[in-house]
A and B are shown apart, each in its own frame.
Chain A
Amino acid sequence: MNIFKRFSKCLNTIVAALICVIIGLAIGFLILTFLSWRSLAAGADPYTFRDVIVQAWKDGFLRLIEGGTYPIFNNATASYRKMRTELSLLPPLLMCGLSVGFAFKTGLFNIGAAGQYTLGAFGALLFALVLKWPWYLCLIAAMLFGAVWGAIPGFFKAYFNINEVITAIMFNWIGLYGVNTLMYNEKLTSLPSMMYNAKTTKTFTLKAINSDAIIPPLASDEYIKAHKGDTLAEFLQSPVTYAVVIAVVIAIILLIVLNKTVFGYELKACGFSRTAAKYAGINEKRNVILSMAISGALAGLGAGLYYLTDTLQWNPQESTALPSMGFDGISVALLASSNPIGTIFSALLIAHIDTGGGLFSAKVFPPEVADIVSGVIIYLCAFMMLFKNIIAKPFVFLGQLKAKLTGGNKEGSEKK
């Protein structure tokens, strides 16, 4: 594949993803306009069409697209706090996206990222709060817990030929109920006394129990003191931690593993055709389990990276809802066509939209409008191939033109 082709293929994917995003945002704007109209119609004051649009734009859409940067642009006192919150969402989203994307690359659909994320959160908090280990060891625990939960659907797929989607969904719920029981039910184990804070109905903060388990922020306290007010110092404070760096480094490692190693090649081969891989002497059963275990480890690590920043505590009482992070991972992976580097950018985008949804004036616009936008984006991604083909047409034409001009001696290589 020559450079020109590779570049045009890459560009094609990016443009297709952008089309998905733009249509998603447009639908979001329509919903906001409708909600804005309903809220104005409910009020006593007369209103015009202009008012409806202005409210939808100013109180809704603008906040959605400006995300964490909204307070910087629109407040008299520029605050970077929201921006930091947005960046702290990047590691878990990116890891869940990598988890789902890695499974896609090996021909599996890991819808179980939510369950593996749950187990990862449990692993991290168990080692942090009960065993009081430092953060890097807690992260490894989170990975292991997630890996085990990911390996289970792989095992059922390899040995019983049960679709990994069904198994993963079942184990999402088993994991959620299991984890919450362990954290919450005092009769069963003594864990709740060490993990669960009855006053806040959440797990204890790491700060109170074991501050070693908090992943350190990117800038040290001395640096922040010395550079008070600097944009960079503002950015690198808690909760923007080394978690961001770890997540990005892992994305790069995955790119190398998938594209430049024999191991990655074998995993991908199983994805293209299990029977062909078996024929070629690859242990396809082992590889399916291994792919799912790695995918699970990534989701588990994502939970570790998030809960060990101590911005949010696990709430075992919300036991009827799976963490949305795992499902957001699916949008992140799809939007990036499972490319690890692309995943970084799509994770940033989803974090941006999610933060923006939280900034709506909640009386008029529920924050879930942001979820609708990402839901629409996944729906569109399901037939992204269609967009790709449409966009590719001019490129194919250019390719043919080039072939004609150069004498058309490479007819065979043009096909693909």
Chain B
Amino acid sequence: MTGSMAMMVFLLISKYTLLYAVVLMLVALGGMFSERSGVINIALEGIMVIGGLVGVIVSASLMNHVNPYISMILSILASALSGLIYSSLLAFASINLRANQTIGGTALNILATAIAMVVAKRFNGSQSAKIDYNNSAYLINIKTSEGTLTINVFLILGIVLLILSYVVLYKTRLGLRLRACGEHPQAADSVGINVHKMRYIGVLVSGLLGGIGGFAYIIPAVSNWNFEYGVTGMGFLALAVMIFGQWKPFRIFFAAVLFSIFKSIANIYDSIDFLKDLGLNKEMYNMLPFIVSMIVLTLTSKKSRAPKAEGIPYDKGMR
């Protein structure tokens, strides 16, 4: 009996861990592309909100109209595209206008929540920002003797994108050029690399991955979402994952898994007896990933491998 109980808990933990790990990994990979090209992307939270919003609206509008699998593909594409478009605002401000990247990103975070509220309310035609949708096409149930493990399509997509990210960043000319712009843009420019173009690519890829990440956070977990809550700080956690992962794809993957174990405890603590007996409530467990990330950041701060030129607008005259 206790054996099957433990199995059930394990399946439950796996379900949420996989759910969150994919989200954190996708968004952190996005952040990685942006920062390796030299632009700090603190707007990931906002990009996630926009990606999630557009994806949810597309899938809610297509519900009962088209084949659920076609609707799924269209929704994911829409979320990626909207994230990309939204991130171009950051790219424009920080690359063309050489604005302070942190402030620009913060503005986009604030703006995203406001936009999401207005659009969601208009979409509903009411004063509630809660949108209902059907997410069954996204879920894949794997039956075992002890119960079912639910995974979602984003897991597969995430693994593909992880490998793709690695290949692009380390095995292609584009990746090499991108990294050069994040380390020493003046040197890169001197050998004929277009720094602005590379940084644009970095930021736009981060928007693409962030948009999918936001959608992946919202849609598989529940069947409705209130956009008042944005994406509850996942974008910021992804930043910590990226730093803990030292701006490297596979390390980011492991960091994301680690963080999501802590994050998933908040969802399942009441089905684990000894955690339930502690008498702590959901908020306490919600704090956990943030506390863990602070500890991790403190421990890794000494040997940080941050891209050298991140956060500094590129000025040709400085060469």
> Residues on A close to B: CB < 8 A?
31, 35, 38, 42, 109, 111, 156, 160-162, 165-167, 169-171, 173-174, 177-178, 180-181, 184-185, 187-188, 319-321, 327, 330-331, 334, 362-363, 366, 368-369, 371-372, 374-376, 378-379, 381-383, 385-386
Given A38-B122, A170-B294, A177-B287, A382 contacting B127 (CB threshold 8 A): no
> In the assembled complex, which residues on chain A have CB atoms less than 8 Å from the CB atom of B283?
177-178, 180-181, 184-185, 319
Among B64-72, B157-165, B179-187, B236-244, the stretch that binds chain A is: B236-244
> In the assembled complex, which residues on chain B have CB atoms less than 8 Å from the CB atom of A382?
93, 97, 99-100, 103-104, 107
B229 on interface, CB distance cutoff 8 Å: yes
> Residues on B close to A: CB < 8 A?
42, 89, 93, 97-100, 102-104, 106-108, 110-111, 113-115, 117-118, 121-122, 125, 127, 228-230, 232-233, 236, 239-240, 243, 279-281, 283-284, 286-287, 290-291, 293-294, 297-298, 301-302, 304
Q: CA–CA, A385 to B104, complex, Å?
A: 13
Is the pair A174, B236 in contact by a Cβ cutoff of 8 Å? no
Is the pair A162, B297 in contact by a Cβ cutoff of 8 Å? yes
Is the pair A160, B125 in contact by a Cβ cutoff of 8 Å? no
Distance in Å: Cβ of B27 to nearest Cβ of chain A:
14
> In the assembled complex, which residues on chain B have CB atoms less than 8 Å from the CB atom of A375?
107-108, 110-111, 114-115
Is the pair B228, A383 in contact by a Cβ cutoff of 8 Å? no
**Given pairs A169-B239, A382-B100, A383-B99, 12 additional interface contacts (CB within 8 A):** A170-B240, A170-B294, A170-B297, A177-B286, A178-B283, A188-B279, A320-B232, A321-B228, A330-B103, A368-B118, A369-B118, A372-B114
Q: Which of B99, B118, B291, B302 contacts A174 (CB 8 A)?
A: B291
19 A-B interface contacts by CB (under 8 A): A160-B298, A162-B301, A170-B236, A170-B291, A171-B290, A173-B290, A174-B291, A177-B287, A180-B283, A181-B281, A187-B279, A187-B281, A188-B280, A375-B108, A375-B115, A379-B89, A379-B104, A382-B104, A382-B107
Distance in Å: Cβ of B302 to nearest Cβ of chain A:
8
Is the pair B104, A185 in contact by a Cβ cutoff of 8 Å? no
Is the pair A366, B121 in contact by a Cβ cutoff of 8 Å? yes
> In the assembled complex, which residues on chain A have CB atoms less than 8 Å from the CB atom of B230?
321
- In order of increasing CB-CB distance, the 5 nearest A-B pairs are A375-B111, A371-B114, A378-B107, A379-B107, A383-B99
Distance in Å: Cβ of A148 to nearest Cβ of chain B:
15
Is the pair A374, B110 in contact by a Cβ cutoff of 8 Å? yes
Distance in Å: Cβ of A390 to nearest Cβ of chain B:
12
Is the pair A181, B113 in contact by a Cβ cutoff of 8 Å? no
> In the assembled complex, which residues on chain B have CB atoms less than 8 Å from the CB atom of A169?
233, 236, 239
Q: CA–CA, A286 to B164, complex, Å?
A: 45
| Centre residue among A170, A320, A363 by max chain B CB count within 10 A | A170
> In the assembled complex, which residues on chain A have CB atoms less than 8 Å from the CB atom of B280?
181, 185, 187-188
Q: CA–CA, A331 to B108, complex, Å?
A: 12
Is the pair A379, B93 in contact by a Cβ cutoff of 8 Å? yes
Distance in Å: Cβ of A47 to nearest Cβ of chain B:
17
Distance in Å: Cβ of B101 to nearest Cβ of chain A:
8
The interface residues of chain A, by DSSP majority, are classed as: helix
> In the assembled complex, which residues on chain A have CB atoms less than 8 Å from the CB atom of B302?
160
Report the nearest A residue to B232, measured CB to CB.
A320
> In the assembled complex, which residues on chain B have CB atoms less than 8 Å from the CB atom of A379?
89, 93, 104, 107-108, 111
Q: CA–CA, A109 to B110, complex, Å?
A: 16
| Centre residue among A174, A321, A362 by max chain B CB count within 10 A | A174
Distance in Å: Cβ of B259 to nearest Cβ of chain A:
12
Distance in Å: Cβ of A85 to nearest Cβ of chain B:
20
Is the pair A368, B108 in contact by a Cβ cutoff of 8 Å? no
Distance in Å: Cβ of A192 to nearest Cβ of chain B:
11
Report the nearest B residue to A322, measured CB to CB.
B233
Distance in Å: Cβ of A368 to nearest Cβ of chain B:
4
Is the pair B97, A386 in contact by a Cβ cutoff of 8 Å? yes
| Centre residue among B42, B103, B117 by max chain A CB count within 10 A | B103
Is the pair A166, B93 in contact by a Cβ cutoff of 8 Å? no
Q: CA–CA, A184 to B279, complex, Å?
A: 13
Q: Which of B114, B228, B298 contacts A156 (CB 8 A)?
A: B298
Is the pair B118, A372 in contact by a Cβ cutoff of 8 Å? yes
Q: Which of A42, A173, A185, A376 contacts B233 (CB 8 A)?
A: A173
Q: CA–CA, A383 to B239, complex, Å?
A: 24
Is the pair A109, B89 in contact by a Cβ cutoff of 8 Å? no
Q: CA–CA, A188 to B280, complex, Å?
A: 7
Report the nearest B residue to A369, measured CB to CB.
B118
Distance in Å: Cβ of B107 to nearest Cβ of chain A:
4
Q: CA–CA, A180 to B282, complex, Å?
A: 10
> In the assembled complex, which residues on chain B have CB atoms less than 8 Å from the CB atom of A111?
102, 106
Is the pair B284, A177 in contact by a Cβ cutoff of 8 Å? yes
